[in-house]
Structure 1
Amino acid sequence: MRAIEYRGAGGPEVLTEVDRPMPVPGPGEVLIKVAAFGLNRADVQQRRGVYPPPPGASDIPGLEVSGTVEALGEGTVGLAVGQRVCALLAGGGYARYVAVAAGQVLSVPETVDLVDAAGFMEVACTVVSNLFLEAGLARGDTVLLHGGAGGIGSMAIQLAAAAGARVLVTASSEEKIAHCLALGAAAGINYREEDFAARTKELTDGAGADVILDVVGAKYLEPNVRALAKDGTLVVIGLQGGAKAELNLGVLMAKRARVAGTTLRARPLEQKAKIVAAVKEHALPMLANGTLTLSIDRRFPFTEAALAHEYFDSGQHTGKIIVKF
């Protein structure tokens, strides 16, 4: 089968098209003929050599795909050959075929384009697991989303707003803020021009955000804690701004606040299955009826996957980047 691997660590030039053996689905697994895959920051971090795949995962990058069921492993139930599906992966998505546990696969609604569905699973699972299962976001809460115009941010805005939360976002330009407002954000903060912690306090009459979803890490730890409300939760899911920072525990304790760090890729299969089940219950019906939209920026052909990475690296995109066969 056709696949892409990274020849060393570096820029988009390390992407190399190769021939690999087709995977064989094991017990409880499904083999998917891939129509398209989503490009995620984890793919880029792996390409740069700072985010290796977890033990046992494929060295082929790619955390989400859409396609059709090609074959079922022994004992696999609930899916059928030829069915349109999307899947969450620990790796292996940059290939024509991938084998994955059935618990990480969802049926793609007929109302949704199969190629675009490649941009659903990773962001939906990230948002549902962190905002709702981890942080307990509830109606009436205020949530601050960093990187609101990206794939995760675009999904988080819609799901949080639909749950009755007030959504604040940070972004790098007025154009990206406009994108976020169109998706349902109540207000946007240009982090290049404003102190986002101070502005969050202003927008909440001094109370702060009940939940903060952060992809930056160390650089934002102190201002994030300042921006938190009493009894608030900061969930860190990315380290774009570094991994080490000082934390004033006195401020954290005075706010009775909580800092949680999570990853999705290396979770055990049973945890991933629980998250996918929650996505199926809460997000998939919204996708099917059109109340949740997939924010797709560009679609690149498989032969231009390196160009897709270049575009991602440029930081110009809003929403998801898709690579299709």
Structure 2
Amino acid sequence: MNVIVTGAKGQLGQTLLRVLRRETDWALSAMTRSHFFTLGTMSSINPLSKASWREALATTGWHPDVIINAAAMTNVNHCETHREEAWQSNAQLAETVTQVARIFDARVVQISTDYVFDGVAGPYTEEHKPNPINYYGRTKLAAENICAHSGVHAAIVRTMWLYGYTDGLKMNFPEWVRDRLSNETHIDVINDEFGNPTLMEDLAYAVFQIIEKNISGIINVAGTERMSRLELAMAVAEAFELDPTFIHPVTSDELGRTAPRPMQSGLITLKAKSLIGLQARSLKDGLMMTRTARNRNML
């Protein structure tokens, strides 16, 4: 099977490639914002251009069976103030991916988010009606709708609060907490925003299972434990044996952010447990795995 992973330089893209190499013998290609890597070759590409995709694929002779769209602009505040860029990165890219998938009769796995919901009455199942409250959420919901109405075989994977060792990439929230506490820096952490921390390794394995089992439609993949940002930060301090007194609880209103967030969020994963046997690690085990990976790479 030939699989393309977009967003290959990002945290999730890197994790997907690592897990798929470990679990499968599939032929994997990686796409970044400007290059397409496959079969030991590198081609320039504009991911927003169908013609650029076709040229790169024709040059390499690559015929994709599955395209995993893990690329996205995820900085919520930046999306709010740079709307055209956010739309191109999140919605327009999904449109191009589905157009290419139609040409090659390929399947699509679109990575989405709990931010398609308003966070008033979470946690949410796949059947709850979306109602995004920020522009990032609107672009991701648009991407979902594009995939759902594209006519291609598409799985839409909603997830949230990703964490795991990032090996020099942009830090996720638990990595940011670990970094600040390691330097004995005081941090403000929100105590009234709730969700499910999700280990990227678990998400990547779930995507593998979704492809293996030919799943389509919307499916939630997230960690099993729902908690506040503050509780997550305290768990990071405990896992890495750092001083939690540097963590200062604040409300969302006190912190002040450009874009509103879904406060009472969370994803219910009964469908994933039924269809793919999802077995997400506990937060404690996930953080221990993250710590082990960090220590191994520090040697």
* TM bucket normalised to smaller: 0.3 to 0.5
Higher strand share: 1
Q: TM-score, normalised by structure 1?
A: 0.32
